[in-house]
A and B are shown apart, each in its own frame.
Chain A
Amino acid sequence: MLTTLIRREILDNLMTFRFAAAVLIMLLLVVAMTTVLIRDYERRLTSYNTAVKKHRQEMLETTTYSGARLTIDRPPNPLSIFSVGLDKRLGNTLRVNHFFVPTLWDARKHGADNPFLNLFSSIDLVFIFQGILSLLALVFAYDTLAGERERGTLRLVLTHPVRRGQVLFAKYISGMICLLIPLLMCILLVLIMLTTSASVFLSADDFLRIGGIVFTSFVYLSLFYLIGMLISAVTHRTGTALMLAMFVWGFLVLVYPNMILTAVKTEPPPDTQTSAYNQIKQIWEEFDRDRLQYLANDPVPGEKWSFGLSGEGGGSFWGYRHHPSSLLYYDLTGFSYKALKAESEPLVPHVQNYHRFLGPQVTNTAERMWLVRKPSLDALYTHPAKMEQMLLRFSPVGLYDAATEAWAGTDLNGLQDFFIAIQRYHQAVIDYYLDKKIFESRLWFVGAEGEIDWNLMPQFAFQRSDISINAKRALPDLCLLLMINLVLFAIIFLTFVRSEV
């Protein structure tokens, strides 16, 4: 009986005009979008490759350790084609130094990017599914019950010895099958386009992640289908059902996510930034006092940090940055030369002693700054972001977005993975410096070309997180979506069973 019902429903749906129109529009949009997105990905990849090459060259050209330019670039995530998340928006290049612990907030953009283009919102495939699939689901569902009731066919069906639950279930299954067809066709097309493109490289894990995204889309779709069925079950006329369905769609997809974040204030407490920044400033002032004290007490007269050294191919530099918004502050002076003049040679041991004292001092100060920065940056940026995400979860759209971003690894956690890897690298570099006694070596400030073998330095490596971690991050949102599905189905069942036909 059930199969007969399902078959009838599917045939009913498949032959309609709305189905054909929906499939056509979906396919057109997806193909156009994928082409654009692949091109965009290629552009970002080229920009990344150029940056890597340029930064590698820069590193090889430096001749002293104090001038080392260890720049890490963030490759674009191929799954950002599905869900762009923060992948495109946040900084993608970061210089690793011994005087501060690098974070996401210190990263900048590659030289090839035009920051003004951020004015245009970035889109992805999930956005299409989110907008159009939900609309389609409602359009398919709004008349499932109300339509049959209006035409009187529902009464006819129920005169047969079939249970109401079965009718409901058959309608649900058949509707979902009809909706799955365009979704799967789209995914298939996208996959074909991705695999034939020369620049996008997807690993086996990536295919599993895409599977996760498809499954999440399916659950999201089913949720909207159930909302449509619920509306259909409680209204008596299709016209009313349609109107209600459209307003519900407009509210959930279009209005709520934007409205809630305008209405609710998620800013951090107002003085978090200034108090943390002043604390950091104090740490550096303390550092400066110690430094000056050392310079005053050392055997060389005067407090000059340059020791009156003179040489060629270089000079003094200021490493300073005052960045209240990312709580970054440091104030360093230093110098590096390619060669020293003969009269400066006797001073070298003193300078080396100075740096033996200063090097660990700087890394300690950086460590202390980090202890203040980490919680304050979290309070300033991460907590409001999490709060906003939480508020968005009241709409299925928010849940869907969060889950797909987690699968793709373009959410905050996924990006933090990368910056945590950079922090590990930063620690490895400092350990290397301390281990090889580089701070106190002559190469710290004087070095000719080729004297340092940069390949001996620790190398940066990053592997995107394991698929199981992605799954773990996506699971809470996915479970919530599933639960809402079940609850909705239960409510529909109860209303339908008790309603008069």
Chain B
Amino acid sequence: MILHITKRELYDNLNSLRFALTTLLLLALMLTNAIGHLREHPKRIQTYNAAVAESLELLSSHADDSLYKLAQQGPGKLYKKPSPLHFCAEGGDHLLPNIIEGSKPYVYSTGIIGVWQLSYPDANINLKRVGPDVTKVDWAFIIAYVLSLIALLFTFDSISGEREHGTLRLMLANSVPRHTILIGKFLGALISISIPFTLATLVNLLMISTASGVHLNIEAWGRLGIIFFIALLYACFFLAFGLLVSARVQRSAVSLVILLLIWVTFVVFMPSMLASIASELSPSMSADEKWTQYGQMQQEIWDRYNYVAWSEAVDKKTLTAKSAFFTEKAEMIERLNQEYLTSQMAQVQHARSITRASPATLLQHLLESFAGTGFTRHSQFVENVERYARQYREFVVDIDRSDSESFHIIGVREGMTERKVLPAAVPKFEDTLRLSKDFNDSAMEILLLTMFVVLLLSGTYLAFVRVEV
């Protein structure tokens, strides 16, 4: 019986205006998305490859020079690898820095050079753009806004409409349990919106995967599969919601008005409003505070070590003091940079977790983490870089230790080994993404979404069972 009702719903929908319009709209959006991606992605990859090659070249030239040069200059600029699934969720990547610098040794005005530390650029890139502020048409946009709206348009009249026409009474006069009707209607609507969505998605993927210059590996396809599944889950949420309101309300027009108003509130306004409130609740460290602290710490270190700063002596004691001076200074700057970044990211993280009250944001976050873009990806990049920085420092110490003639004083030329370093032996930064980690991180959000769907469906069932026809 469920099958029968589903089939009837499906045939009804396939002939309707909304089905045609939905197909057109989704196709147009997905085509735009593919065109935009194909235009921009090769450029992005090219820039990344060129930048990484340049950075590696600099690194090997330092390795050719000496171990001291490596210890002083650091690993250079480290770049965030652009995700091949950028078209799924842009995630504000154009606002996030794509580079962390493991260089910038402190140069004193007298020509003494300290050692490298990590420095994190601000997310200030957007200050230069003066054009209007729009969202890029990515899958996240298409699903979060358009697909959800379409889901509502397919269900707002599915029960109230039949009630208005009087056909609901007819149907219930047969020996069909109410939940069968409900499930049939739900499945019918789900299949009806899945058809245009799947079609549009396939066209999109066909364009992207056949283009030269863009490669999707097997892991990327796995991620796409998960994203598709999440999209359907999200659509189910709105279908169930539409059915719920449709079951409770007598007239379809009223049902649509209620649905749209709630949709606009939760999907369109909620995220930015909540973010604005939440970011106020947890203030972050300001740049002014950072610089004040910086000044104090610098003064303190300078006072402690200025007796060696000018010394030209090469005895072990002076060298050790000099090394301590450089390392402590670099550590101090790095720690402060990290603290500053952590407090800023914590504020954003806080705001993000509060905005999850909106299902649209929930979907946005899920898509971002599976597409490997956006804020979570950025914090992963920061982690990767920090791990690499430790590895790099250990490498320098290890190489130095292998030479018994060296003084083992890192950061000063006279204190370190003169032996050649093989450029190939220097650890290289590899920005990685792991599906299992992403899956673990977002399991909670997927569960939350599933729970919402189940909750709404059972709510709909209760509402429909108790309703007068």
Residues on A lying within 8 angstroms of B by beta carbon are 17-18, 21-22, 25, 29, 32-33, 36-37, 39-40, 43, 50, 54, 86, 89-91, 104-105, 107-109, 111-123, 127-128, 131-132, 135, 139, 143, 238-240, 242-244, 246-247, 250-251, 254-255, 257-259, 261-263, 265-266, 315-316, 325-326, 381-382, 384-385, 388-389, 392, 398, 401, 412, 415
Contact = CB atoms under 8 A, between A and B. Distances in A.
Interface in B19-44: 21, 25, 28-29, 32-33, 35-36, 39
A119 B92 contact: yes
B313 interface: no
Contacts of A21: 257-258, 261
Contacts of A326: 128
Nearest to A24: B261
B276 interface: yes
A123 B276 contact: yes
Contact of B265 (A17, A29, A120): A29
Contact of B351 (A86, A90, A120): A120
Contact of B123 (A91, A115, A261): A115
B257 A120 contact: no
A111 B96 CA distance: 18
Interface of B: 16-18, 21, 25, 28-29, 32-33, 35-36, 39, 92, 95-96, 109, 122-124, 126-137, 141, 145-146, 149, 153, 157, 161, 252-254, 256-258, 260-261, 264-265, 268-269, 271-273, 275-277, 279-280, 284, 286-288, 291, 344-345, 347-348, 351, 355, 375
Contacts of B39: 265
Most buried by A among B130, B275, B287, B348: B130
Given A119-B123, A415-B130, 8 more contacts: A17-B257, A107-B127, A114-B348, A120-B272, A132-B264, A242-B253, A254-B146, A392-B134
A107 B284 CA distance: 22
Contact of A263 (B36, B265, B280): B36
A381 B126 CA distance: 12
B280 A43 contact: yes
B29 A259 contact: yes
Contact of A258 (B135, B288, B375): B135
Contacts of B260: 135, 139, 246
Nearest to A84: B133
Nearest to B251: A17
B246 to A, nearest CB: 14
B269 A123 contact: yes
A290 to B, nearest CB: 25
A280 B21 CA distance: 53
Nearest to B276: A36
Nearest to A401: B132
B256 A90 contact: no
A40 B264 contact: no
A121 B257 contact: no
A385 B375 CA distance: 26
Contacts of B16: 243
Nearest to B349: A116
Contacts of A243: 16-18, 21, 153
Contact of B257 (A22, A36, A123): A22
A123 B272 contact: yes
A33 B269 contact: yes
A143 B253 CA distance: 10
A108 B29 CA distance: 36
B269 A108 contact: no
Nearest to B126: A118
Q: Which of A113, A384, A389 has the most CB of B within 10 A?
A: A113
B347 A117 contact: yes
Nearest to A89: B126
B130 A90 contact: yes
A194 to B, nearest CB: 17
A36 B275 CA distance: 10
Nearest to A257: B134
Contacts of A242: 253, 256
B149 A120 contact: no
Contacts of A131: 264, 268-269
B131 A384 contact: yes
B113 to A, nearest CB: 15
Contacts of A381: 128-130
Q: Per DSSP, are chain B's interface residues mostly helix, strand or loop, or mixed? A: helix
Main secondary structure of the interface of A (DSSP, over half): helix
Contacts of A25: 261, 265
Contacts of A37: 276
A110 to B, nearest CB: 8
A111 B291 contact: yes
A88 B124 CA distance: 13
Closest 3 CB pairs of A and B: A111-B288, A120-B275, A385-B131
Nearest to B28: A259
14 contacts: A33-B273, A91-B127, A120-B271, A127-B269, A131-B268, A132-B264, A135-B261, A143-B253, A243-B18, A247-B25, A261-B132, A262-B33, A265-B39, A398-B132
Contact of B130 (A40, A116, A412): A412
A258 B137 contact: yes
Contacts of B95: 116, 118-119
A117 B351 contact: yes
A326 B237 CA distance: 46
Contacts of A132: 261, 264
A393 B129 CA distance: 19
Contacts of A262: 32-33, 35-36, 136-137
A177 B132 CA distance: 32
A389 B129 CA distance: 13
B129 A250 contact: no
A148 to B, nearest CB: 14
Nearest to B91: A119
Given A119-B375, A135-B264, A128 B269 contact: yes
B133 A54 contact: no
A50 B289 CA distance: 12
A254 B128 contact: no
Contacts of B96: 116, 119
A118 B123 contact: yes
A18 B284 CA distance: 43
A216 B182 CA distance: 45
B284 A263 contact: no
A316 B258 contact: no
B139 to A, nearest CB: 12
A136 to B, nearest CB: 9
Contacts of B348: 114, 116-117, 119
Nearest to A88: B133
A153 to B, nearest CB: 16
Contacts of A115: 122-124, 344
Nearest to A392: B132
Nearest to A270: B43
Contacts of A17: 254, 257
Contacts of A32: 273
A105 B128 contact: yes
A316 B110 CA distance: 10
A114 B128 contact: no
A86 B126 CA distance: 11
A261 B126 contact: no
Given A243-B17, A250-B146, A382 B130 contact: yes
